[in-house]
Chains A and B, each alone.
Chain A
Amino acid sequence: MIYFLKRILFFVPSLLLISIVVFFLTKMSPGSPLSDQFSSEELDYKQEQENIKALRKAYKLDLPLFYCSLYRASSSDTLYKIADLNVKKSLTSLAYEIGYWEPINNFYAAVKTELFRTKSPSERRILVKLLNFETIKQLTDFTFEYNHIFSELDNITSSITLISNIKKSNFRNYFFKVNWNGFNNQYHHWIANFIKGDFGHSYVDRQSVSNKITKALKWTVSLSLISILLAYLIAVPTAIYSAANEGSFLDRLFSTVFFGLYAIPSFWLGSLCIIFLTSETYLPLFPTYGVGEVPTTASTFEIIYIRISHLFLPVFIWTYGAFAFIYRQLRASLLNQMQTDYYLAASAKGLSKRSLLLKHALRNSLLPMITLFGSLFPALISGSFVVEYLFSIPGMGKLTIDSFLSRDYPIIYGILLLAAALTLFGNLVADILYQWADPRLNISEKSNN
């Protein structure tokens, strides 16, 4: 019992670690979902900037990233306030080149005030370009090229001359400063809301994340439950039959077919099924993709027909690996049990073969079934990426891939943390079930070696 309590206690650091890793992974990755909304030509610059500010405030992107920040002495701890990623990158690289942040900051401020003041779009374009240079040489060359414009803008030219004439002190790049940002940071807000159950809102369509996830979970959970149920329904009777009639024609048939199926990668068999069983060219038995549109007037029978015809292939692709696995494991362990002493004694006592197999041998060959059960929980959330991708089922796997591709971070966080929690939980449940099925197993000792 203490062992399981310890395991549960381990949840907390693991989940926190995963959350931090996920958070920084997404922050490090290039591209931002909001950046598309930043750049619109028609809007007035002032208005656009205010829009960006409001948007960043709404998503709490104008706060520091983490509780503490580590940065070089030559750069600044207030970089997070700059919205545009490219500007941030070029300004930091300029700061690294000269070793000081203040002149760069003055330059940035001067350009910004000029941007707010100016009315002509061509001048603004040049000013915006000014913020995208990564070396001082490019910067001075550019100002030289557009001398006619910059000669009037004293603030900017003076700040640029200051930057280009300053004595470079590269060594400052090798010193670090640590800054404590307090609790008002992005990570803290996110994780606090997460614990409260508020997963945030999608960047793409502003729906709440929990709403989107539950919608997707509905499909994935029902599909995987059906699959697992079907897998057991098919595999357990056939395995018992095979074990009881070892070497018979049907036993050999089952073994060959199931082992053959077992070795085929699911995305290959899925593709083959789609090509040969759904397309007009060959044998259009099933609809190609989706879960089917149900008209509002449809009767129950029609609904069932539509759903079954759409979901037959996905469920089959999802299941075949699992039932081949269960069949193989159960058959092998049943055959094993049939050679034990207790089985022989029970059969010598005159028990019928049926009760021997079902009551005694089956219970003792439960162990491999539990392994599968443990992996059920992660499968619930991930669905099967491949199956959902192949058949365009709006489940978790598809939601994950879509949200990764559109960089919808709130959804990514939600899914990843949920997946991690369920994986941990599944492992725990499997361990508890092991202990229940075979009390001789002492897991707490086993795990030490």
Chain B
Amino acid sequence: MKETERYRYFSVQPKMAFYFVLFITVVGLMAPFIANDNPLIAYDNNNHNVILPIFNHHINQEDFTPILKPLIPYGEHNIDLRNANAVGPFEQQNIKSSYYRHWLGTDELGRDVLSQLIYGCKTAIFTALLSMLFAAIIGLSIGGVSAYFGDNKLRASILRICCTSLLLLSLLSTIAVVMPWGIKTVGTIKMWLIGLVILVSFIAISFVLHLVISYIEKSFKLKKYPLAIDLFIGRLIEIFESLPLFFIIIAISALFKPSFLGLVFIISFSSWPRIAKYFRAEVFVVKDLAYIESGHALGFSNFRILVKHILPNAISSVLVVLSFGVASAILIEATLSFLGFGLSADQASWGKLLAGARIDYKAWWLAIFPGLAIFFTVMSFNQLGDKFGRLKKS
């Protein structure tokens, strides 16, 4: 998105950016250990042993004595009713001791802004990293295959083309059958188990089919035709890039039930073409280098050459796109939650905190702190991307 491209021009030391990204990631991953209403380690008075009650929300506070308390005594869903209606950081707060102070104030419902910021960090980091992981898997495989095989390297007989398309069709229809009502009828069996069985069986079937078809091709000397994969994928990427993606993102997140995985899916769906495009351009350059040719001469398989020899050489440009992608994913997540789409109501997010400032204009702390968090995070990821880009050039 154009919106993110501008951040890269604001320069900070790349080292600072790297440390900031590291800091944000660690805070995001460790969020429940930093801000939690339960103690990290406690002594159970009834059973006389040491317990770790971090994720147990239904614990009775009187049953144990805390040994190690977290830095901030408020969790993601904790509502401090005595400090509701947005109490500021410098205002008089109705608290037991200074340990319970809301250092950055509270929001409309009485949630601690600092703990919301930390959990928002978790949401942002998880959304961005997961969606970029999926986008990278899709984009790298599609872009790599497209550039590596080009328009005439992959040849197949009509028999193979027919069989492959039939197999793909049957896989799609199996998914279509299992997905909507498998959960209901199968009930006790886990959904992922069914998925795994289907996947494994299809891989096995396609492998056997591959052997059989290769045998037939060889013995009957079937004529092979080149497949214009690159042409097809290039057009596909072009069509995807011309889609009004922000519209589609808003459409999907407004029409369907908001969920974390849905958001991840939307973002990865909208960002894979970019990764595929960059990787494709990079593989075009690398695949004609001499060492790849010697790999061919040594009889390496295409898969091995692509993954073990081309990918490491082309990874720097992928890193550039990925770090810009992470920045833009964080921005998309913040914007969507700011507009009120995207995430379920109980999940903390920077954008949601910022939206809280629209309800109560005197609560400046609701506008300043999440905004600063978004600003610095997005900027740091863009700086990293810039740094990778410069490394590649030199």
Contact = CB atoms under 8 A, between A and B. Distances in A.
Interface of A: 10, 13-14, 17-18, 22, 25-26, 29-30, 72, 93, 96-97, 134, 173-174, 176, 259-260, 262-268, 271-272, 274-276, 278-282, 321, 324-325, 328, 375, 378, 382, 385-386, 389-390, 400-401, 404-405, 407, 412, 415-416, 419-420, 423-424, 427, 447-449
Interface in B1-25: 2-3, 6-7, 9-11
Contact of B7 (A263, A385, A390, A447): A263
Nearest to A424: B242
A321 B238 CA distance: 26
A267 B242 contact: no
Contacts, number: 133
B284 A449 contact: yes
12 contacts: A96-B185, A259-B9, A263-B9, A265-B335, A265-B375, A378-B244, A385-B250, A390-B358, A400-B247, A407-B255, A416-B244, A423-B243
Contacts of A415: 247
Interface in B320-345: 331, 334-335, 338-339
Ordered nearest first, which 6 A-B pairs have the shortest CB separation? A263-B10, A404-B254, A29-B255, A279-B361, A268-B371, A419-B244
Interface of B: 2-3, 6-7, 9-11, 173, 177, 181, 184-185, 234-235, 238-239, 242-244, 246-248, 250-252, 254-257, 281, 284, 331, 334-335, 338-339, 351, 354, 357-358, 361-362, 364, 367-368, 371, 374-375, 378-379
A404 B251 contact: yes
B242 A427 contact: yes
Contacts of A10: 235, 238-239
B181 A96 contact: yes
A325 B4 CA distance: 12
B247 A14 contact: no
Given A134-B184, A271-B371, A30 B173 contact: no
B6 A325 contact: yes
A324 B374 CA distance: 20
Contacts of B255: 25-26, 29, 404, 407
A274 B358 contact: yes
B354 A271 contact: yes
Nearest to A406: B254
A382 B335 CA distance: 15
A259 B379 CA distance: 12
Contacts of B185: 96-97
Contacts of A449: 281, 284
Given A265-B334, A271-B354, A401-B254, 4 more contacts: A22-B251, A263-B379, A389-B339, A416-B248
A427 B235 CA distance: 15
A371 to B, nearest CB: 9
Contacts of A29: 255-256
Given A271-B354, A328-B9, A386-B335, A18 B256 contact: no
A18 B9 CA distance: 34
B246 A382 contact: yes
Given A14-B239, A17-B239, A25 B250 contact: no
A267 B354 contact: yes
A419 B9 CA distance: 29
A274 B361 CA distance: 8
Contact of A271 (B244, B248, B358, B362): B358
A422 to B, nearest CB: 8
Contacts of A419: 244, 247
Contacts of A416: 244, 247-248, 251
A400 B239 contact: no
A266 B3 contact: yes
Contact of B3 (A18, A176, A321): A321
A262 B109 CA distance: 33
Contacts of B7: 262-263
Contacts of B331: 265
Contacts of A173: 177
Contacts of B357: 271, 275
B371 A265 contact: yes
A18 B239 CA distance: 9
Nearest to A405: B254
B339 A264 contact: no
Contacts of A266: 3
B347 to A, nearest CB: 19
Nearest to A389: B339
Contact of A275 (B238, B248, B361): B361
Given A259-B10, A262-B9, A271-B354, A93 B184 contact: yes
Nearest to B362: A281
Contacts of A174: 177
A72 B177 contact: yes
A424 B378 CA distance: 29
Nearest to A407: B255
Contact of A268 (B248, B364, B374): B374
B244 A275 contact: no
B246 A268 contact: no
Nearest to A174: B177
A65 to B, nearest CB: 16
Contact of A400 (B250, B361, B367): B250
A282 B19 CA distance: 36
A97 B6 CA distance: 55
Contact of B244 (A264, A268, A423): A423
B244 A382 contact: yes
A24 to B, nearest CB: 11
A262 B6 CA distance: 6
Nearest to B368: A272
A278 B358 CA distance: 12
B9 to A, nearest CB: 6
Contact of A272 (B3, B239, B371): B371
Nearest to A276: B364
A401 B339 contact: yes
Nearest to A259: B10
A120 to B, nearest CB: 33
Contact of B243 (A72, A401, A412, A420): A420
B189 to A, nearest CB: 15
B358 to A, nearest CB: 7
A325 B242 CA distance: 22
Name, among B177, B255, B364, the residue most crowded by chain A CB atoms within 10 Å (CB to CB): B255
A424 B375 CA distance: 31
